[in-house]
Amino acid sequence: MPKFPPMASSRRKVASELPKAARRPAPNSDDDQPESRPTIWDNLSARQREEVEALAAEYRRFLSENKTERTVGARILALAKEAGLVDLAQGGPAPKGGYLAHHGKLFGLYAPGRSAEKGFNLIVAHGDAPRLDLKPRCLYEDGGLGLLKSNLYGGLKKFQWLARPLAMWGFCVLKDGREVNFRFGDEPGDPVLTITDLLPHLDSRIQRDKKLVDAFPAERLNVLAATIPTGSAKEKHRLKKTVKDFLYKKWGLSEDDLVSSEIELVPAGPAQEVGLDRSLIGGYGQDDRLSVFVALKAFLAGKKLQKPSLLIIFDREEIGSYGSTGAETNFVVRLAAAALAKSGAKDDWRAVTEALAASMALSADVEAAFDPTFKEVHDELNAARIGLGPCLVRYTGGAGKYGASEARAEYMAHVRSVFDESGVVWQSTLLGKQEYGGGGTVALSLAFHGLSIVDCGAPILSMHSPFEISSKADLWMTMKAMAAFYQKA
């Protein structure tokens, strides 16, 4: 998640109407504290353990091979086409469903089900992650070093990006329309890039005695690129020339082409297993590519759906969801209209808005896991625990639920009922203590259409860092939760 979190349908009885024996214990009753609850690991069969490991291995490859919103999107499209989905923007039938892509960074998928006019089961996630971008004019040299100027993208802790190996993933469009895609620092044999930090011997005035936010000004995040000068010692800007020559020889890019390029600096190296017991996955971009990965798997596994499924992977969530590929657009309306048209239902304004208002959604985004090292920021009763499964986060926001899209009680009842019926191990959580910060998700943007929505995702340690940590068991159970939602909600 950037920083904030399944209803009983009319055919299902509400809890108060059920006989006492059918009621489940409240998740947070005194004999059911998070510490004393069994973890997912406690109840896995040998076969399930194999499933967990296989899924985790596939997920690590997905994380390692898709470190930008564009590469995540390209992977989604490839898998959708492989599954027989067709372009919803084209005419013709879509018996297996279809996809809609916008500006190379925003993707929607549709799978048919019964009575589309009565609404969809929708899961939304985001494919972007906090990172550093190169500025449009970024090449310069100083003090014998060739350097690149970067720009923050999203809520990252700047000091975590210094003195560590970085890779550079680019998408560039030349004036004649040619497109250049590259990755540098993540290919076998590649060198890496890095941003230098100050040695502790000399940091007392400009770092150590300052507030964290002032100690690391964004304009000091300069990427070290070259030290071998080009040309004769009489010439100027010889290191800048080294970098320019490299860009031209390697990818055919001139300095001016960087103006029409999207070049992202991301942590170099693959996602890894973490822990003596290998129970965890460490890697960049798990917020929110964990949700993207499991939601996509769940979507593609759907069979004989009661209701049609939609999946949307947004861009720009980490910077407020604004812009043509973010959740603050009418993309969900376009996708719903296209899906209704393909299903043979009416697709006029009224039909589309009614179908959306009747839809049920999960805002799939990761949740901050309880970290005992930083206990004081968590409300322990409501904090997410590693290994206890996906979190249902009824509301996010900060300062008195400000900016929260709170799920109503009926919808919470429906989703927890779907999860329980499907054997999903899940937890009810909130982001942290009140008045300690806060955050939000795309749930708010989707709720604009009047649909039912709640945040749901796996707990993550070190969120927004270059090395985020998730649990293999939570990954697997979150996929089960998403599949149950598509199949039964």
Binding site for Mn ion (CB under 5 A): 1-2, 287-288, 365
Closest to Mn ion by CB, 122 or 413:
122
Sequence-distant (6+) residues with CB within 8 A of 363 are 5, 124, 125, 405, 441, 442, 443, 446, 453, 454, 455, 456
CB atoms within 10 A of CB 282: 21
Cα–chain center distance at 224:
28
Q: How far is the CB of 122 from Mn ion (least distance, A)?
A: 17
Of residues 1, 135, 126, 124, the one with CA closest to residue 69: 126
Q: How far is the CB of 2 from Mn ion (least distance, A)?
A: 4
Q: Measured between alpha carbons, how far is 212 from 237 in angstroms, rounded to an integer?
A: 34
Closest to Mn ion by CB, 465 or 487:
465
Closest to Mn ion by CB, 264 or 288:
288
Closest to Mn ion by CB, 317 or 347:
317
Closest to Mn ion by CB, 287 or 474:
287
Q: How far is the CB of 138 from Mn ion (least distance, A)?
A: 25
Q: What is the residue whose two structure tokens read 């018996």?
A: 95
Provide the pairing of β-strand 367-368 with 459-460.
parallel
Q: How far is the CB of 363 from Mn ion (least distance, A)?
A: 9
Closest to Mn ion by CB, 128 or 347:
128
Residue 239: phi and psi, rounded to 5, are -80, -35
CB atoms within 10 A of CB 352: 24
Helices (H), 37-133: 46-65, 69-82
Q: Measured between alpha carbons, how far is 69 from 319 in angstroms, rounded to an integer?
A: 13
Q: How far is the CB of 293 from Mn ion (least distance, A)?
A: 13
Q: How far is the CB of 11 from Mn ion (least distance, A)?
A: 33
